[in-house]
Structure 1
Amino acid sequence: MHMRQFLIALSVSLAFIGTPLAADWQTYQNPRFGTVAEVPADFIAGEEPQNGDGLKFFDVDSDGEINVYGAFNVMGDDLAGYRDFLLQIYKDGGWTIGRENSGDTWFMVSAKREDRRLFLRVEHGAGCAAELLHHIEFRYPADAQKRWQSFIKHGAESLDGPCP
């Protein structure tokens, strides 16, 4: 019986190794657009830009960053057009687009460039037009991908924001 309890405890413990726990997250809310997302608590916030769009958080362990921001849709209320606009910017910047996925109120993109990886999620509120968009973007070294998977999953799932 003791061996069985030990194995259960061990398997539960191993499931959490390398995965930040709930207490290991800090919530950021952008004051200008109301964009909200959780980022790892030990990431260091950069300087807020003058336009107040959002904030970058830096991981000193892996030279990675998370950018949380809101923006008005330069394509009006066309979410697919905005996605295509951003894809072109990434392609022009030398990124190779990997996965793309989308729903009625969101889209995500992954890309790579040399030894760097990128993941972006953009969404708007369910009852809103796509005029105000909330973003979370992850940029990190390819060799840290395994570590960053939990950051991306949690951070992307936490992204939220109000209608304009």
Structure 2
Amino acid sequence: MSLKYVLSAVVALTLSFPAFAADDWTGYANPRFGFGAAVPPGFALAQESDNGDGATFRSDDGRSELLLFGTTIVDGDFSDEVRQRIVWDRSEGWAITYDKVTKGWASYSGARGADILYVRGVLLCDGSAAYFHLRYPQDVLAQFNPLIGRMVKALRPAGGCGQSPKAAPGAAQN
């Protein structure tokens, strides 16, 4: 086996699994809904849900929170599910300033007081959905933008499937 082949394989694996490309990121796998995600450096597990649908992570300084979860789509399709989440977040006082909803993925963001919200969802193979819901202070926006881009790329079905995007657009900035 040539060195060129080995290096090509390593690069391909690194690009396929961006959440594990650096030691300071950790992976999250949800067996109930069958999806994987990336947890950025400086976040630690705060709580796992009792029913296995996800977990909550908090930043070391306690100012940011990351929810990773799956959900069963009961009424309508993925787009309807995402639109309902936007309504729920608005009812919690978030001013949603960006949203993009497609058949296979969705992103939206907004602000409330001194905090920013960024949500990403992907349709999973069985018709359920996986999300990350990230809340962080506006004063660290520049530091979080590259993290969000990487998290967007890493949120996907564990085994891959045709319904979820392989290369969806990155995070929008507020």
In which range does the TM-score fall when normalised by the shorter chain?
0.7 to 0.9
Q: How far, CA to CA, are the matches of 1:153 and 1:45 in structure 2?
A: 21
Aligned to 2:115: 116
SS in 2 for 1:46: strand
The aligned runs of 1:1-150 (5 Å cut-off) are 22-61=22-61, 63-76=63-76, 78-125=77-124, 128=125, 131-150=127-146
TM-aligned CA deviation for residue 63 of structure 1? 0.8
8 Å contact kept, 2:47–2:57: no
Unmatched segments (≥5 aa) in structure 2: 1-20, 162-174
In our comparison, the structure showing a higher alpha carbon Rg is: 1
TM-aligned CA deviation for residue 142 of structure 1? 1.0
SS in 2 for 1:22: coil
Q: How far, CA to CA, are the matches of 1:115 and 1:152 in structure 2?
A: 18
Residue identity opposite 1:84 in structure 2: R
Aligned to 1:152: 148
Give the TM-score of the pair, scaled to structure 2. 0.73
TM-aligned CA deviation for residue 117 of structure 1? 0.5
Aligned to 2:165: none
Residue identity opposite 1:102 in structure 2: V
What RMSD in Å do the two structures reach over aligned CA positions? 1.8
Residue identity opposite 2:82 in structure 1: R
8 Å contact kept, 1:62–1:144: no
Residue identity opposite 2:133 in structure 1: E
TM-aligned CA deviation for residue 136 of structure 1? 1.0
Q: How many residues align?
A: 139
SS in 2 for 1:151: helix
8 Å contact kept, 1:39–1:151: no
TM-aligned CA deviation for residue 62 of structure 1? 5.8
Q: How far, CA to CA, are the matches of 2:62 and 2:100 in structure 1?
A: 27
Unmatched segments (≥5 aa) in structure 1: 1-20
Q: How far, CA to CA, are the matches of 1:94 and 1:74 in structure 2?
A: 25
Identity, % of aligned positions: 29
8 Å contact kept, 2:105–2:122: yes
